[in-house]
Amino acid sequence: MQIQLKNHTFQVDPGQNKHYWSYINSIDWEPHTFAIFDHFVNTDSVVLDIGSWSGVLTLYAAKTAKEVHALDPDPVCFSELNTNVTLNPAVADKIKTYKTAISDKKETVRLSARDQYGASSSSILERKRDTENSLELNTVSLADFLQAENIQTVDFIKMDVEGAEFRILPSIGKALEKVNYPTLYVSFHYSFLNENMYHKYIPSKFLNKVFIRLENTFGFSIFQKKIRKEIENLFNDVKAYTYIYKSDGTQISFDDLQRKPELIKGTDLVFTNKEWHTSTPLNVPK
């Protein structure tokens, strides 16, 4: 299957996700993401794509970057990632893939899937509605991963890890310092953290479903205080960055995040030491 990502053409094997690849190919998919990559990734960049799924942004980054390290522990995603890298020999030599799960430390965890593995929703934060949750894997910290793979230089990190960001960010300082604070683009999955709270504190699958439905309908949050406590120190290890941008290009501050940590429910964030000027805020889907 041939797909077009902005002005670049790629060959992919859609595997079980043909509908998703067709969707990506049929619309102006995530213009804010491409704008971030286009601004912060150049021909000298070493990119870490943490949570690469089947490789859509890995391939896009490799068209420009010097080197891309793509990580995904989901066995279906990893297989499809390798297939899609192979199908694009013009960039394949720039890409190295890893079936690796980054977290805050080395431990054995379960990787849960909502419906099936490979669907870009597998998470180490378990939830009651997961139908596949039997896959055990070993996690590793980002610092230990960089050391094990002897990666000395990183210029840009994309992190889209379905909730694991709440484990990684409070422990990422040593790794970022080692590679001189590369631009860090993080997708947040607040709902995954919320559902994980239900999983921990409400054993009944039926009550989980009822309370989550009520929450989605009426907007209240049973675990708001617990979540605020969970994320109150979330950004301590990234305070060395000069700038924070929402994914539409709007600049915010650490004070904004301290006052309203729930801000991450509605936006991804870019932490960087490079200015990013946009003439008008980008159109980012809610």
Average pLDDT on 43-64 reads: 96
The pLDDT of residue 280 is above 60: no
Contact 166, 231 (CB under 8 A): yes
Query: To the nearest whole number, what is the mean pLDDT of the chain?
Result: 91
**What are the domain boundaries of the chain?**
30-272
Model confidence at 269, pLDDT cuts 50, 70, 90, reads very high
What are the two backbone dihedrals, phi and then psi, of residue 70, each rounded to the nearest 5 degrees? Answer: -110, 125
Q: Two tokens at 24?
A: 């990506």
The pLDDT of residue 19 is above 70: yes
pLDDT of residue 279: 58
- Tens of pLDDT, residue by residue over 62-109, are 999 999 999 999 999 999 999 999 999 999 999 999 999 999 999 999
The proportion of the chain whose per-residue pLDDT surpasses 70, expressed as a percent, equals: 97
Contact 162, 192 (CB under 8 A): yes
Asked if the 30-272 domain carries CATH number 1.10.10.10, the reply is: no
The pLDDT of residue 132 is above 80: no
Model confidence at 258, pLDDT cuts 50, 70, 90, reads confident
pLDDT of residue 114: 75
- Residue bearing the bigger pLDDT, 59 or 211: 59
Q: What's the pTM?
A: 0.93
pLDDT of residue 281: 59
- Give the strand pairing for 107-113 and 132-141: antiparallel
Contacts 24+ apart (CB under 8 A), 3-12: 5/29, 5/34, 5/56, 5/59, 5/60, 6/34, 6/60, 8/59, 8/60, 8/63, 10/59, 10/84, 10/87, 10/88, 11/84, 11/87, 11/88, 12/54, 12/55, 12/59, 12/84, 12/87
Q: Two tokens at 97?
A: 């893939």
- Tens of pLDDT, residue by residue over 174-218, are 999 999 999 999 999 998 898 889 888 998 888 888 888 888 888
Q: Two tokens at 248?
A: 């539409």
The pLDDT of residue 286 is above 60: no
- Give the strand pairing for 183-186 and 269-272: antiparallel
The pLDDT of residue 129 is above 80: no
Report how far residue 74's alpha carbon sits from residue 137's, in angstroms, rounded to the nearest whole number.
10
Alpha carbons within 13 angstroms on the beta-carbon side of residue 146 total: 22
DSSP state of 123: B
Average pLDDT on 240-249 reads: 96
